[in-house]
Amino acid sequence: MATPLRRRRERDIVDATRALFDERGMQDVAVEDIARLAGINKALIYRHFASKEELFVLTATRYLEELSASLHAIDPAAAPRERLVACAEHFTDYCLGHPAFLDCCISLMRRPSTELVEVVSEGVLLRLGLGMADCMGLLADVLRDGASRGAFTVDDPDLTANLMWTRALGSLHLARLGVGVSRVDGGLPRFFSVSGAQVRAACVADALATVGA
């Protein structure tokens, strides 16, 4: 069992990682930077975490906790359509406001789960799963409620929730890039700006269209 000192140090390391993610983005954070901000030796990080990936996964769970709190603040007594719109808006707003969370999600999706288990302990994977299940489960509950009332057309709420989540992440990455591409006369590319507001509206519309609302 972890001692209070160990738990506090782990929390400090994750806090430092989160702070650097928010400041620089996930891709620009090195373990040396985390150790420096946490005020510890780099070697101590690897005494608490099996790998850099494990530390990053735990940081992702911290984001998921915040996102979950935001989603759970949605009025459970509201109509299914209103709750679905609120879920989509809360999710997109959180991702747009926390680009590093979007990076974490996309990074996790880049590798099969069979590879992730090789660098992340079962305990950390369980914490990640709990965080994701809490967010995804709330969305699935909204879909299930809407289907039972005849407001939505959904055969498998859990699968649909996962598909919505994944599609939204891809769309929000486009907002992160801020640029789209089209073809003009002669086959030449034309680059045009894409705003977060445009992608947010598209994610909401996509969620409604997916359930036939």
User: Do the beta carbons of residue 175 and residue 196 sit within 8 Å?
Assistant: yes
CA distance 172 to 154: 24
Number of domains present in the structure of the chain: 2
Same domain, 103 and 162: yes
List the CATH number of the domain containing 166.
Answer: 1.10.357.10
Q: By residue range, what is the domain housing residue 197?
A: 62-210
Q: Is 54 a domain residue? A: no
Same domain, 36 and 84: no
Same domain, 75 and 174: yes
Phi-psi region of 166 (alpha: psi -120 to 50; beta: other; left: phi over 0): alpha
Query: Which pTM does this prediction carry?
Result: 0.86
- The CB density around residue 114, as the number of other CB atoms within 10 Å, is 7
Same domain, 116 and 190: yes
Same domain, 18 and 77: no
CA distance 188 to 177: 20
Give the position of tokens 């735990």.
58
Tokens standing for residue 180? 């789209």
Same domain, 35 and 96: no
List the CATH number of the domain containing 36.
Answer: 1.10.10.60
What are the pLDDT tens digits along the chain (213 aa)?
567 777 888 888 888 988 988 888 777 788 888 888 988 888 888 888 888 888 888 888 999 999 999 999 999 999 999 999 999 999 999 999 998 888 888 888 877 778 878 888 888 889 999 999 999 999 999 999 999 999 999 999 999 999 999 999 999 999 989 999 999 988 899 999 999 999 999 999 999 999 998
